[in-house]
Structures are given as structure tokens and as C-alpha cells.
């Protein structure tokens, strides 16, 4: 009888052992599956195929996760945090602009953010007439602050670092489309623009400027006037550049209406009045001979090259055509110039343009 009881107890123990093993196996399998899905199953949910997450410089892990949750970029916060912790992302936050795609797994998302591999931002600037406008255009799609950048543009030490004054530093900026990382600082932004400036001024361009007896800054300033005089038809730019060079050579004031607009702040004026030409400003080329101290805008590359490759001519007068086509009359005869000017003034009067 004792043997039978022992045999029955053994069977119960074996059965209990098997049940425990099965339970542990099931639980382990479930746990492993749960963690597997947490790592490799899709967790990024966005309403389009791709989007961007912006992580500020100095951001904490909590801020990153909160942003992902608030923007509804991830389905499950807990699984993301678990994967991030296991992959040591918590102490390795990198700032930047990151492209995320729909159905990315936590593993893919953490790997991307931890790598610091950003998608660059395209930054374009043109038709700029002031430091304020430039600072705004450069930082519009970047983390950098426009107020800080403007402060640097007005800082003499910063300007001198790059070989300029606070008046001429705008000539360092060549209008174009550039790629930057979103978290580029104001300092790095200026360093990049300085490199682009040096890249633009090739040996050939520097030699052309030297042959004209102008510095790179003077070429840029003259190009800004050419740009303001002609922003519709590039073919006229070399001719206008040649005309202004003629005036400089004979000691004649440049008498450029756009410089008066700049000096008075009347950038959108269609008509310059006699009183405007009396304003006491170094940018008023009716009052002061030679080039103004700085550019009146950031000229396009076509305008800079038009100055460097100016068209030789004998003209010292120009006037917009009365058909308002954007083209000009050119002459070296003052009486003929007055005839052209009268035609243009009559056209403005007929259209009721008094300012």
C-alpha cells in the first residue's frame, strides 16, 4: 500500500512540474513575443508617408518622448521608452531635424534619433535690402535665432573676424539656395557663409575685379545698384554696369534713384521727387560722388557677374522707357536724355503715378 501511495505522489509531482514548465514556457513565450513586437513591430503612426521631428539643442529624453506623444507620432509610449533605454538613447540625445516614416518600429526610430543623421534644410535668400530681412530669411527654417544673428551682424568684432565692417558685412552673403542642418548655430551659419563667399570669389573673378580697379566689396556694392536698376532683363545689366563705371571714371555722381530710395526708406516708390535727392545720406548718390559705403540690396549672381563682365560703352545717361517694359534708353547726350525723361514722366502722369 505504501508503494502505491508513493507512486501516486510521484505522478502528481511530475504533473505539477510539467504544468509549471508549461506555464513558464507560455509566459516566457508571451513575454518574448511582447518584447519582440515592442522592438520590431510598427509604432510610428503618421497621417502621411513621412514627416519630420525637430529636437532642440539641449533637449531632454522626456521632452523628446513628450513631443512624440503630443504630436501623435507614436502609438505606444511605454514600448518606445523601453527600447530607448535598452539602446542607451536616454543619455545620447542628438538635436536636429529627422525624417520619420510611417510604420517605423521603435528599433528603427531609436536608431535614427540616436545616429544624429539629419535631413538638411534648404535655405534661400534673395531680394534682401537690410540686415533685419537677411537675419529673418536665414533663420526662418532653422533653430538659430534671428535676433541673435542680427546682433552678430551689427557686432564690429564679428564683422572684422571675416574681413568686413558692420556696414560692408552684407557683401559676404551671395544669394543662392544652400543646405544647412536645422540645428546650425548662428556662429556656424556665418562661418558657412564666409566659406561660400570665398568659394564664389574665384581667381578669375578676383582678377576681373582687380583689372577694373575695384575691390570685391566695391564690385558687390555696384552690383547692388545694377540689380536695383534692372531686375527684369538680365541682358541690360552689363550695359548699366558699364554706364556707372563711366560715371565713376569721369568723376560724375552716380545719380542712382535706387540709392535715394534706400536712403529715404521709400523702397516701393515709383517716382523720386526733387526733394528726395536732397536727403543728407552717404547713400544718396546725387549728393555724394562715388559708390555708397555699403550695398543697397543683396544682388543676384547675374548682377555681380554683369559688373565683372561689363559692356564697354560711351553712355553716361539712362532713363526707363515710357512703355514701362523695364527696358531703358541709353545715351551720352544730355539733351537727348531730357527728351527720354520727359516721355517717362508723361507716362507716369498719365497713369496717375505720383509717388
pLDDT of residue 36: 47
The chain-wide mean pLDDT, for the chain, equals 92
Tell me how far the alpha carbon of residue 341 is from its chain's centroid.
40
Query: How far is the C-alpha of 247 from the C-alpha of 289, rounded, in Å?
Result: 9
> What count of other Cβ atoms lies within 10 Å of the Cβ of residue 169?
27
Digit-coded pLDDT (tens) for 273-306? 999 999 999 999 999 999 999 999 999 999 999 9
> What count of other Cβ atoms lies within 10 Å of the Cβ of residue 200?
14
Query: How far is the C-alpha of 297 from the C-alpha of 291, rounded, in Å?
Result: 14
pTM: 0.86
Candidate from 20-34, 51-65, 156-170, 191-205 with smallest mean pLDDT: 20-34
More confident residue, 116 or 20: 116
Sign of the four-CA dihedral 72, 74, 76, 78? negative
pLDDT category of residue 31 using cuts at 50, 70 and 90: very low
Digit-coded pLDDT (tens) for 180-239? 999 999 999 999 999 999 999 999 999 999 999 999 999 999 999 999 999 999 999 999
Candidate from 25-39, 47-61, 64-78 with smallest mean pLDDT: 25-39
Query: How far is the C-alpha of 19 from the C-alpha of 16, rounded, in Å?
Result: 5
Candidate from 26-35, 182-191, 238-247, 250-259 with smallest mean pLDDT: 26-35
pLDDT category of residue 13 using cuts at 50, 70 and 90: low
Give the pLDDT mean for 156-181.
98
Digit-coded pLDDT (tens) for 319-351? 999 999 999 999 999 999 999 999 999 999 999
Q: Cell 563705371 appears where?
A: 245
Q: Are 175 and 217 in contact (CB under 8 A)?
A: no
Helix (H/G/I), strand (E/B), else coil: 44: strand
Dihedrals φ, ψ of 98, to 5°? -120, 135
> What count of other Cβ atoms lies within 10 Å of the Cβ of residue 55?
21
pLDDT category of residue 69 using cuts at 50, 70 and 90: very high
Pairing status of strand 328-331 against strand 50-55: unpaired
> What count of other Cβ atoms lies within 10 Å of the Cβ of residue 20?
10
**Does residue 8 have a pLDDT over 80?**
no
Amino acid at each position: 500500500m505504501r508503494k502505491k501511495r508513493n507512486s501516486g505522489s510521484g505522478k502528481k509531482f511530475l504533473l505539477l512540474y510539467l504544468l509549471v514548465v508549461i506555464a513558464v514556457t507560455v509566459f516566457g513565450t508571451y513575454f518574448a513575443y511582447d518584447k519582440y513586437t515592442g522592438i520590431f513591430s510598427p509604432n510610428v503612426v503618421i497621417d502621411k508617408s513621412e514627416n519630420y521631428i525637430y529636437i532642440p539643442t539641449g533637449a531632454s529624453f522626456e521632452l523628446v518622448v513628450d513631443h512624440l506623444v503630443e504630436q501623435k507620432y507614436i502609438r505606444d509610449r511605454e514600448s518606445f521608452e523601453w527600447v530607448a533605454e535598452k539602446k542607451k538613447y536616454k543619455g545620447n540625445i542628438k538635436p536636429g531635424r529627422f525624417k520619420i516614416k510611417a510604420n517605423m518600429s521603435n528599433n528603427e526610430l531609436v536608431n535614427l534619433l540616436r545616429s544624429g543623421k539629419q535631413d538638411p534644410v534648404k535655405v534661400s535668400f534673395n531680394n534682401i535690402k537690410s540686415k533685419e530681412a537677411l537675419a529673418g530669411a536665414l533663420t526662418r527654417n532653422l533653430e538659430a535665432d534671428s535676433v541673435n544673428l542680427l546682433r552678430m551682424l551689427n557686432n564690429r568684432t564679428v564683422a572684422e573676424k571675416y574681413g568686413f565692417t558692420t556696414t560692408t558685412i552684407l557683401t559676404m552673403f551671395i544669394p543662392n539656395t544652400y543646405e544647412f542642418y536645422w540645428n546650425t548655430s548662428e556662429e556656424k551659419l556665418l562661418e558657412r557663409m564666409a566659406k561660400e563667399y570665398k568659394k564664389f570669389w574665384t581667381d578669375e573673378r578676383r582678377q576681373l575685379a582687380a583689372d577694373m580697379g575695384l575691390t570685391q566689396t566695391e564690385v558687390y556694392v555696384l552690383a547692388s545698384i545694377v540689380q536695383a536698376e534692372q531686375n527684369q532683363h538680365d541682358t541690360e545689366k552689363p550695359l548699366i554696369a558699364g554706364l556707372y563705371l563711366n560715371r565713376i571714371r569721369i568723376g560724375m555722381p552716380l545719380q542712382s534713384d535706387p540709392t535715394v530710395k534706400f536712403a529715404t526708406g521709400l523702397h516701393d516708390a515709383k517716382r523720386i521727387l526733387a526733394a528726395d535727392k536732397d536727403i543728407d545720406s552717404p547713400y544718396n548718390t546725387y549728393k555724394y560722388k562715388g559708390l555708397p559705403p555699403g550695398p543697397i540690396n543683396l544682388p543676384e549672381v547675374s548682377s555681380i557677374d554683369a559688373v565683372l563682365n561689363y559692356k564697354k560703352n560711351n553712355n553716361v545717361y539712362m532713363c526707363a522707357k515710357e512703355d514701362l517694359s523695364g527696358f531703358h534708353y541709353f545715351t551720352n547726350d544730355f539733351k537727348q536724355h531730357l527728351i527720354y525723361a520727359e516721355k517717362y514722366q508723361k507716362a507716369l502722369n498719365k497713369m496717375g503715378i505720383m509717388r
